[in-house]
């Protein structure tokens, strides 16, 4: 599998920065090439059998298409702002690796377009870069829960499909007959935040799951980073390409990319609490507050909801 470091090394080993291109992987079903435009502008080139649609350019990446002498088409992505090189290399690596099950056909090129547009939206929303501390812990909580769902017998495809946190749904995991809302807290937390009137407002009984996640020293026993946790899940999904692609797509929607800087942040899971949420569970929902209140967030006392805790 191609990594960011390997791709960067292949680029750096090119002997001449003279608009020449080399194919990145002869076993890949798509013809991906890397090279340079002008003197130092890294470029990714896709040779297509069919004419591609025009791809949108951005402030950092210039996209272009052209027809070659052999009748094939070339789609190029050129880095025009060197300060964004790290993100550009990650984007290129993602386009190459995520398209390994595509063919050099119209549908394959459409897949690449869809993937690139997702990256463009992230760039426009300024989500590219390191997640904040609260975002890191929130994502870790959801990935831990995804692993637990699979360990409890949920198929890998169904587990990844149920993960709705990246879709901005009211609940983090939605199944046909239940739902789970996941929160990642520090071990000393006394309360848990409910961010809206809709978050626990579901007719079906569900679960509020608290994961107590704290920072720890690097390489401590049972410690992990965002990168290692994502790698564990990818390994579990490696035999289901559809589930793996969907997982990577949802990570992208959350603004997570495999940046080496995440290796500086190590965590450990200190404990788990699960609560049964039904009509008796204490919560604020639209039907229980005055109609003049359009939205609200509130704090639940963890000690006070002990009666609804599911014992292991």
Rounded CA separation 231/1 (Å): 12
Query: Do 49 and 150 reside in the same domain of the chain?
Result: no
Mean pLDDT over each residue of the chain, to the nearest integer = 90
Same-domain check for residues 157 and 301: yes
Final residue before a domain boundary, out of 124, 157, 181? 124
119 and 201 share one domain? no
Q: Sign of the CA dihedral 118, 246, 219, 223?
A: positive
Residue 75 contacts residue 65 (beta carbons within 8 Å): yes
Asked if 154 contacts 182 with a C-beta cutoff of 8 angstroms, the reply is no
Residues 171, 260, single domain; the answer is yes
Whether the pLDDT of residue 82 is over 90: the answer is no
Number of compact structural domains in the chain:
2
Please identify, among 77, 102, 124, the residue that sits at the C-terminal boundary of a domain.
124
Distance CA(158)–CA(136), nearest Å, equals: 24
Pairing between β-strand 21-23 and β-strand 223-224 as defined by DSSP bridges:
unpaired
Residues in Cβ contact with 266 at an 8 Å cutoff, skipping those fewer than 6 apart: 215, 216, 217, 218, 219, 220, 223, 224, 225
- Residue ranges in the chain assigned as alpha helix (H): 4-12, 85-98, 106-124, 133-151, 156-162, 226-236, 241-253
- Torsion angle (degrees, nearest 10) of CA 114, 116, 119, 120: -100
| 181-203 pLDDT, tens digit each | 999 999 999 999 999 999 999 99
The answer on 252 and 150 residing in a single domain is yes
Residue found under tokens 């680029």? 11
Strands 298-301 and 191-194: antiparallel
Residues 144 and 273 in one domain: yes
282 and 138 assigned to the same domain: yes
pLDDT value, residue 178 = 97
Closest among 218, 227, 249, 296 to 119, alpha carbons compared: 249
Domain limits for position 239: 133-308
Q: Quick: pLDDT tens for 236-277.
A: 999 998 999 899 889 988 888 777 789 999 999 999 999 999
Q: What percent of the chain has pLDDT over 90?
A: 64
Final residue before a domain boundary, out of 75, 99, 124: 124
**Same domain (yes/no): 188, 259:** yes
Residue 140 sits in the same domain as residue 288: yes
In the sheet that holds 73-79, the strands lie side by side as 21-23, 31-37, 41-48, 73-79, 61-67
Dihedral sign, CA of 209, 210, 215, 217?
A: negative
- Pairing state between β 41-48 and 223-224: unpaired
- Using an 8 Å Cβ cutoff, are 276 and 306 in contact? no
Place of tokens 């848990």: 192
Determine the Cα–Cα distance for residues 133 and 85; give it in Å rounded to an integer: 24
HEC string of 262-297 equals HHHCCEEEEEEEEEEECCCCCCCCHHHCCCCCCCCC
pTM: 0.74
The CATH number assigned to the domain holding 26 equals: 3.30.1460
Q: What pLDDT band is residue 123 in, cutting at 50, 70 and 90?
A: low
Q: Are residues 116 and 197 in the same domain?
A: no
Same structural domain, 57 and 157: no
For 267, phi then psi, to 5°, come to -135, 165
Q: What is the pLDDT of residue 115?
A: 83
Task: State the Cα angle at 1 between 4 and 262, rounded to 5°.
Answer: 40
Residues 297 and 250 in one domain: yes
pLDDT of residue 85: 84
Residue 149 has pLDDT above 60, yes or no: yes
């Amino acid at each position: 599998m191609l990594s960011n470091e390997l791709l960067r090394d292949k680029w750096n080993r090119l002997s001449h920065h003279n608009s020449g291109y080399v194919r990145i992987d002869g076993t890949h079903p798509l013809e991906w090439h890397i090279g340079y435009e002008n003197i130092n502008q890294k470029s990714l080139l896709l040779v297509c059998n069919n004419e591609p649609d025009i791809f949108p350019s951005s402030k950092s990446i210039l996209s272009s298409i052209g027809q070659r002498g052999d009748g094939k088409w070339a789609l190029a992505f050129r880095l025009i702002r060197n300060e964004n090189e790290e993100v550009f290399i990650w984007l290129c690596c993602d386009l190459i690796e995520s398209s390994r099950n595509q063919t050099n056909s119209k549908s394959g090129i459409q897949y690449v377009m869809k993937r690139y547009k997702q990256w463009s939206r992230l760039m426009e929303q300024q989500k590219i870069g390191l997640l904040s501390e609260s975002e890191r812990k929130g994502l870790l909580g959801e990935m831990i829960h995804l692993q637990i769902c699979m360990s409890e017998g949920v198929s890998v495809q169904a587990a990844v499909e149920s993960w709705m946190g990246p879709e901005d749904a009211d609940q983090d995991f939605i199944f046909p007959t239940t739902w789970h809302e996941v929160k990642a807290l520090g071990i000393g937390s006394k309360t848990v935040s409910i961010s809206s009137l809709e978050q626990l407002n579901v007719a079906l009984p569900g679960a509020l799951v608290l994961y107590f996640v704290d920072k720890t020293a690097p390489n401590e026993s049972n410690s992990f980073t965002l990168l290692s946790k994502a790698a564990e899940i990818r390994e579990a999904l490696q035999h289901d390409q559809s589930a793996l692609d969907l997982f990577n797509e949802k990570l992208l929607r959350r603004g997570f990319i495999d940046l080496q800087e995440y290796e500086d942040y190590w965590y450990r899971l200190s404990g788990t609490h699960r609560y049964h949420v039904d009509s008796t569970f204490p919560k604020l929902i639209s039907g229980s507050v005055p109609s003049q209140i359009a939205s609200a967030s509130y704090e639940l006392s963890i000690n006070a909801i002990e009666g609804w805790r599911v014992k292991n």
